[in-house]
Amino acid sequence: MDRLLIRGGKKLQGTVRASGSKNAALPILVATLLTDEPCVLHRVPDLRDVRTTLKILEYLGKKVTYENGTVTISADGQLKNSLPYELVKQMRASFWVAGPLLARFLEAEIPLPGGCAIGVRPVDIHLKGFEKLGATCEMNAGNVILRAQELVPSKIVLRFPSVGATQNLLMCACLIEGETVLENVAKEPEIDDVIDFLNKMGADISTDDKGRLVIYGKKTLHGAEHEVVADRIESGSYMLAAAATRGDVTVTGCVPEHNAILLEDLQEAGFTLTVTNDSVRVHAYDGDIKPIRVRTAPYPGFATDLQAPWMTLMCLSDGTAEVDEDIFENRFMHAPELVRMGAQIVTEKSVARITGVKELSAAHVQASDLRGGMALVIAGLCAKGETEVERVYHIDRGYENLEEKLTSLGADIKRYNPEK
């Protein structure tokens, strides 16, 4: 399997452009199942999860072309309404096809999904929502079977503002005639991008003064063209890499307001930022990094997907920082690997306490999940010596052209496979 070899100790310098958002691209790709007409999507990042989603669409009966960040999706025969476990096990987002398939066929059979080992992330919120819309849910040999004589509009209150459940129920409701209202929904920018695309397809989705999503379902939706929003997690990761290496980096093509909390915390930690409407510059800083306590929360709170890269920065702070992980259990699996690199981290349940050190040391480490893997890459960029990161396939799920982008900023990083 591929590994990353990083010779650290270099300050990142230069400009890097944000890619399209993985977390927006995946549900938008899935939403094309709601129509037989062609859809054209731009700024779709070339990632492992995107490639898996395109395979899923092809299996279900879509014709797909992907070139230079543009995906064209059209009908290619009769759609299927079920998926094999071999495709679903590769990522949790594959379960999002349930909503569109249920809406179109009144029946869908989807295996329980796989993905990163950062927590249970149950699909019960999805299933209870589907039941409110008139479907029955059964389990058989690891598969979820959804059936309905008729789907009906409803008012649904999510027990937790789940991003996946919000998107799944939203897509399903678009083809249920009448008014469906979703309460306690996720408010991530990626949700807004999905809504933008669905409305371009002819859906009628709005947000009322109470923050609820109101969907007036239609009999059919049509094709549409759309550009995916910038990836705020990738953007934030490069900002943190710049800060941790004491470099001077400008991230362009991003939406700074989507990372408002991160920008505030970076400034509180001592860094100077220059922010425009579509870029953020992290200026070189040689002073002490102030330890900051962060608590992950649904948007607009501190993003759980930036918790691991943030922890790497705090490993180099002058004092003791804390990270409270309130979204997923098991999301401190990168901490022991950072300790192998000289960090001082103590974890207890959902809290990590990080006592800053003057420098990190190179080591042989392995990624346990996507964002934890990026934390190790940033640590390797800071550490003196040669760091080797295994299980790069985790990182490939969320960072487009990682080595090329970091190399353009002056990093010494390369990919290799010891078996070849």
**CB of 308 within 8 A of CB of 374?**
yes
Which residues are bridge partners to 230 per DSSP? 20
**CB of 158 within 8 A of CB of 183?**
yes
In the DSSP assignment, the letter for residue 361 is B
Distance (Å) of CA 206 to CA 133, 187, 369: 19, 13, 35
- Tokens representing residue 113 in the block: 């999904």
The SS3 assignment for 393 reads helix
Active-site option among 116, 174, 254, 382: 116
Question: Torsions phi, psi of 396, nearest 5?
Answer: -65, -15
**CB of 266 within 8 A of CB of 285?**
no
Which residues are bridge partners to 207 per DSSP? 213
**CB of 365 within 8 A of CB of 391?**
no
Is 116 a known active-site residue? yes
Q: How far apart are CA 100 and CA 35, in angstroms?
A: 9
Axis-axis angle for helices 22-31, 232-244 (nearest 10): 170
Q: How far apart are CA 104 and CA 95, in angstroms?
A: 16
**CB of 316 within 8 A of CB of 360?**
yes
Q: How far apart are CA 148 and CA 128, in angstroms?
A: 14
Tally Cβ neighbours within 10 Å of residue 300.
14
- Residues known to be catalytic: 116
